[in-house]
């Protein structure tokens, strides 16, 4: 996989406003490629270390369509979702969401309540799953990442006002880190 770096071990979760978070991910041509499995394992590790419920490859600066989801945070419960495609949605719910790439920000967002997702696994098999509640939110949140969108993009006027100081701080930290390299 040309978009998956050789040095997977050095990957880390990127933070807002890193421009790599805005990249639209490309489909994975061969989900059975061993590099895809290595990437998925690194994503699992980082998601659990950060106590998250989902993580998209774009959050590591890798522009391929894969994410990990684990709404119960339980061992052995990680779902590896390759080339996801939302094929049906129903209803609405309000969700309270945070993001590993936008630390210290939590927003109330409006998401679809029921989502039917078609995807591939690491063996290349195609699956279809219907999700509600938290899992439906994770599917939409991580799908947004694969499309270069962040939770801050979905915030309303009041939500943006509430997080503006935190975003400014994150922007300052990013600039300082860039200047130091």
Q: What is the pLDDT of residues 68-118, one digit of tens each?
A: 999 998 888 999 999 999 999 999 999 999 999 999 999 999 999 999 999
In a domain, residue 170? The reply is yes
Q: What distance, in Å, lies between the first and last C-alpha atoms of the chain? A: 28
DSSP-based three-state secondary structure for 85: strand
Domain range enclosing 133? 8-180
Mean pLDDT, the chain, rounded, equals: 96
Q: Starting at the earlier edge strand, list the strands of the sheet with 54-56.
A: 54-56, 66-69, 79-98, 106-120, 126-132
In a domain, residue 115? The reply is yes
In a domain, residue 121? The reply is yes
DSSP-based three-state secondary structure for 181: coil
Q: Is 23 a catalytic residue?
A: no
In a domain, residue 2? The reply is no
Q: Residue 1: its pLDDT value, please?
A: 44
CATH code at 61? 3.90.45.10
In a domain, residue 131? The reply is yes
Mean pLDDT, residues 120-142: 98
Q: Which of 26, 49, 94, 142 is catalytic?
A: 142
Q: Which two tokens stand for residue 104?
A: 């210290």
The count of domains in the chain is 1
Three-state SS across 90-155?
EEEEEEEEECCCCCCCEEEEEEEEEEEEEEECCCCCEEEEEEEHHHHHHHHHHHHHHCCCCHHHHC
State the pTM of this model. 0.95
Q: What is the pLDDT of residues 25-60, one digit of tens each?
A: 999 999 999 999 999 999 999 999 999 999 999 999
């Amino acid at each position: 996989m040309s978009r998956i770096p050789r040095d997977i071990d050095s990957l880390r979760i990127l933070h807002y406003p890193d421009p790599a978070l805005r990249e639209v991910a490309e489909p994975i041509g061969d989900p059975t490629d061993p590099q895809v499995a290595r990437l998925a394992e690194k994503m699992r590790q980082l998601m659990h270390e950060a106590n998250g419920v989902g993580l998209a490859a774009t959050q590591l600066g890798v522009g391929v369509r894969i994410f990990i989801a684990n709404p119960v945070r339980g061992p052995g419960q990680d779902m590896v979702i390759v080339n996801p495609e939302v094929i049906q949605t129903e209803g609405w719910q309000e969700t309270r969401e945070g993001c590993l790439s936008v630390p210290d920000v939590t927003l109330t967002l409006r998401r679809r309540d029921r989502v039917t997702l078609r995807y591939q696994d690491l063996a290349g098999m195609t699956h279809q799953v219907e999700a509600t509640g938290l899992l439906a939110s994770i599917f939409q949140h991580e799908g947004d990442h694969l499309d270069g969108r962040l939770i801050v993009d979905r915030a309303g006027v009041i939500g943006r006002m509430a997080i503006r100081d935190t975003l400014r701080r994150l922007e300052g930290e990013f600039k300082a880190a860039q200047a130091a390299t």
